Amino acid sequence: MINRKDMIDLFRASSTYINAHRSKVFVVLLSGEAQADDNFFNVVYDLSLLHNLGVKLVLVQGARPQITAALEKENIDSSYHQNLRVTESVCIEIVKQAVGSLGINIDALFSMGTRNSPMHGSDIRLCRGNFVTAKPAGIHDGVDFHFTGKVRKIHTAAINKQLNQGNLVVLSNLGYSLTGEVFNLSAEEIATEVAIALNAEKLILMIPEDGVIDDKGQLIPSLSESDAKKYADNKAILKDEDSKCISQALYASLRAYSNHVHRIHLISFKSNGALLQELFTREGNGSLVSNDSFDQLRDASISDVTGILNLIKPLENDGTLVERSRELLENEIQNFKIIELEGAIIACAALYPIDYQSGEIACIAIDSNEQKNGYGARLLTNLEKSASELGFTKLFVLTTVASHWFIEKGFSEAELDDLPDQRKGLYNMQRKSKVLLKQLS
């Protein structure tokens, strides 16, 4: 159970994000898989909270597994080509029923308001309609897609009007043609095109994993365009449903990325509260594909020594950091990580091994013009990950001025005697640095 102080701190810490998100347009893809998951109730609660905090929400409902199940029930085979279902005329009625049923379910969920539910008092109005004009996908490689469609036009003025009236806009994966026909579209395509057309602040894609996971099973908090492409291609060759869902989301994020949607989040629909954690905490809980930052966190090399020296010199001069000569830095450069922004080193930090189970964070410094942008936290998280990979269970830091910053990052005050002997022997009694310790799992 969270204690009172933690709850108050957490609530206050989220206020920056509440202010930043207010009145912004977020487009959220709710895949058919997400809607079938046991955690979907919680996703709806969290979306209603976002709406009540002033976020303008456009939800896009997918229906892929529900359509497949409905077709199978009628013994109708449906084939895929180029990752798109071929919707023959015999299928479209069944598609309409499956999609209609999902729409009704979501209306019902957002209408909940009993006293014991988190939706009590929220009184949300959903609005849906013919906001997407579709055209036939056509014939490709000799395959006729029949009633599978593509986006022809997003009616942004009509959507914005609803959002400005305080309504939550819900779109299905169906679009309507100028000839009055109904087409079955990919929900990923609709979500992406809507985000682009509305110039949305965020595109949020709910997926079955915590985000994009690397080969070592670690969550990748932020991805470049090339990373996103690599993981999309890797997932696309796997045949399981989760991989398909993630690869589609990644391809959608690439399209949004190259069309100036600045922040695309991949967030788990299975993990209770992941959406709130990603949007209201510094640490987040998902993967972000973002094109608004040109910074790069990487291992330092010998050619970075001058840049690091320029960065740390003022802090050495005022006594914040221990002095390091160029020679020492050159010898120890393999312990350093840096963040480079448009060619300049704006942040550095080092991880020094002490013994086989403990390491020390040292020389963390962020350019004074770039502080409070999360660079320190990013470096620390990265070094903690390296420490865990090296098998360290204890991470020390000795600091004179930043103890609170480290405590907020999970460190606790420790005694000098907690330091391994070889490090204790080097402790500078005049500096009187505080010893902080974090246990790594």
Ligand X SMILES: CC(C)(COP(=O)(O)OP(=O)(O)OC[C@H]1O[C@@H](n2cnc3c(N)ncnc32)[C@H](O)[C@@H]1OP(=O)(O)O)[C@@H](O)C(=O)NCCC(=O)NCCS
* Burial state string for 286-316 with b = 16 or more CB within 10 A and e = fewer than 16: bbbbbeeeebebeebeeebbebbbebbeebe
Non-local (6+) Cβ contacts of 22 within 8 A are 53, 54, 55
Q: Toward ligand X, which CB reaches closer, 258 or 296?
A: 296
Residues within window 365-404 making contact with ligand X, judged by CB under 6 A? 365-366, 371-377, 399, 401-402, 404
**Smallest separation (angstroms) from ligand X to the CB of 17:** 11
Site string for ligand X, 269-308 (x = CB under 6 A): ----------------------------------------
Instruction: Rank residues 19 and 101 by Cβ distance to ligand X and give the closer one.
Output: 19
CB 338, min distance to ligand X, A: 13
Identity of the amino acid at 144: D
Q: Could you give the count of Cα atoms lying within 13 Å of 243 in the half-sphere of its Cβ?
A: 9
269 versus 411: smaller Cβ distance to ligand X: 411
Phi-psi domain of 21 (left: phi exceeds 0; alpha: psi -120 through 50; beta: other): alpha
Nearer to ligand X, 223 or 366 (CB): 366
Cα gap 389→114, rounded to integer Å: 48
Place of tokens 């499956």: 98
Residue 230: CB minimum distance to ligand X, A: 28
Q: How far is the CB of 298 from ligand X (least distance, A)?
A: 17
C-beta of 95 vs 379, nearer to ligand X = 379
What is the nearest approach in angstroms of ligand X to the Cβ of residue 377? 3
CA-CA-CA-CA dihedral for 200, 203, 204, 210, to nearest 10 = -140
Residue 128 · residue 172 · CB < 8 Å:
yes
Token pair belonging to 17: 């994000």
Per CB under 6 A, which of residues 243..272 are in contact with ligand X?
A: none
- Cβ 234 vs Cβ 217: under 8 Å: no
Taking the complex as a whole, the smallest distance from the CB of residue 379 to ligand X amounts, in Å, to: 8
Q: Compute how many residues bind ligand X; rule: CB under 6 A.
A: 18
CB-nearer residue toward ligand X: 177 or 433: 433
CB-nearest residue to ligand X: 376
Residue 16 or 130 having the CB closest to ligand X = 16
Interaction residues for ligand X, span 335-364 (CB under 6 A): 364
Strand partners of residue 347: 339, 366
Nearer to ligand X, 169 or 348 (CB): 348
Least distance to ligand X, CB of residue 434, Å: 9
Q: Which residues of 9-29 are buried (b: 16+ CB within 10 A; e: fewer)?
A: eeeeebeeeeeebeeebbbbb
Give, as ranges, the residues between 309 and 328 that touch ligand X (CB under 6 A).
315, 320-321
Minimum separation from the CB atom of position 304 to ligand X (A): 17
User: Can you read off the two tokens belonging to residue 199?
Assistant: 């110039």
Residue 283's closest CA among 217, 378, 403? 378
The answer to whether 396 touches 437, Cβ cutoff 8 Å, is yes
DSSP β-bridge partners for residue 396: 360, 437
By the criterion CB under 6 A, which residues form the site for ligand X? 315, 320-321, 364-366, 371-377, 399, 401-402, 404-405
